[in-house]
Amino acid sequence: MWGGRFAAGPSAIMREINASIPFDKALWRQDVAASKAHVAMLGARGIVAAEDAATISVGLDQVAAEYEANGVPVDFDLEDIHMTTESRLAELIGPVAGRLHTARSRNDQVATDFRLWVREACEQADAGLHALQVALVTRAGEHAGSIMPGFTHLQTAQPVTLGHHLMAYYEMAARDRSRFADARARMNKCPLGAAALAGTGFPIDRAMTAQALGFDGPTANSLDSVSDRDFALDYLQAAAQCSLHLSRLAEEMIIWASQPFGFVTLPDSLSTGSSIMPQKKNPDAAELVRGHSGRVIGCLTALMITMKGLPLAYSKDMQDDKSPVFEAASLLALSIAAMTGMVAEATFRTPRMRAAAELGYATATDLADWLVRQADVPFREAHHITGSAVKLAESRGVALDQLPLGDLKAIDARIDDRVFAALSVESSVAARTSYGGTAPAEVCKRVAEARVVLGLDGEGS
């Protein structure tokens, strides 16, 4: 490849460090598609004879068929997927293959291929998250009225419903989908035709190639076109945030499946045993999802540091842009699939959840709210009164609603027997009717809305 410029070939070290074919072979579909779009444009513009363009296009189809059947051969001398494809094309159709590279560079070629790949990765993440949302909404609908403790600081705070809890993750997934959609929209400009860095003197039609590849149009600056990796960083940032949400859900499943909690039994298909302790059922899939989030964040950090000091335009450092994106996409897809299966197949132990909700004086806020509503007590004063009631109940080892009315009146005379209707966990959750609250009626409304958005009932996506 370099014979016209260098008298000697590359050293073995240079040959290995310079080659990207071991990982960029993953771009072969995008490389063939972009090459076909490019040669079609060259033929249409008369830059390459029509018959040569047709021959090249047929040859590219044959190369693609070979890759599909046998994989991409790895030859370090050919360096990357671009030269590997062009070399095989030349073997199949002869010297006319050399016309394919007219009016383009590997710089705009890889920028286009990689952008196409990342665009598809955004679409795949969106599809996976849609499936996760379906699982969350389905289980939330089943458990709109199932009572469990809500936590702050991992301490019992107020009763909520399991459906409400699951719908919190639906909202997180919705924001994740929006981030991938935004990233896809921003990256949907085509670098092809920017050539090495300055554009080309050939009368190419960049709008034609952009349209053929499904882009909204060509990129506007040739220097930026070949040096931009914002699109990869956008994807990784969305993937990192998504992995954080998945990790939080995984952590909850791990905690809930532990014996002290006992809120959930995880599916056997996503659990493992112990080599020494026969009673163990380990939440390994959830733990791996939790661990994968760190690796995805590492991928984002790696590419950010690679790009932080690069002058315009292309530098060889940018060859290291693909590995972290490929790794993150693989980890993210596995994590989404694992958590989707876990949510869909888990057995929620709702009696245990309800019993836990009755512990820890979870309805204390309901007593304070009752004092505000029924006795016109300022909330700060009601908070103090309630704290005294909790202290008394705690000293006797009973729940708030088990304290005699006389003892409650001794704390504050404005308390009457109507208070007991507010102190059950059922009354507590039913009272939270504000928009987005945990009341079963509200949860059912949000589930119904989500089902429409997801296309489960009517229009949506």
CA distances from 181 to 11, 38, 118, 184, 186 (A): 44, 27, 12, 5, 9
Kindly state the tokens that stand for 307. Answer: 């790009």
Kindly state the tokens that stand for 460. Answer: 């949506």
Reply yes or no: is the peptide bond before residue 313 cis, omega within 30 of 0: yes
Active site residue 153: yes
Phi first, then psi: give them for residue 203, nearest 5 degrees.
Answer: -80, 65
Active site residue 274: yes
**Catalytic-role residue among 11, 178, 258, 274:** 274
SS (H, E, C) 258-325: CCCCCCEECCHHHCECCCCCCCCCECHHHHHHHHHHHHHHHHHHHHHHHHCCCCCCCCHHHHHHHHHH
DSSP code at position 101: G
Give strand pairing partners of 218.
190
Distance, CA of 384 to CA of 137 (rounded, Å): 39
Contacts of 404 (CB under 8 A, 6+ apart): none
Nearest Cα residue to 399 out of 355, 440, 437, 439: 355
Number of Cβ within 10 Å of residue 126's Cβ equals 18
Nearest Cα residue to 180 out of 126, 241, 116, 117: 126
Nearest Cα residue to 57 out of 4, 99, 8: 99
Amino acid at 114: F
Distance, CA of 350 to CA of 347 (rounded, Å): 9
Kindly state the tokens that stand for 331. Answer: 């980890």
Phi first, then psi: give them for residue 73, nearest 5 degrees.
Answer: -70, 145
Distance, CA of 400 to CA of 451 (rounded, Å): 38
**Catalytic-role residue among 153, 395, 434, 461:** 153
Contact 301, 240 (CB under 8 A): no
Nearest Cα residue to 85 out of 102, 100, 107: 100
Q: Which H or E run includes 151?
A: strand 147-152
DSSP code at position 157: E
Distance, CA of 49 to CA of 37 (rounded, Å): 15
Phi first, then psi: give them for residue 147, nearest 5 degrees.
Answer: -85, 140
Residues marked active site are found at 153, 274
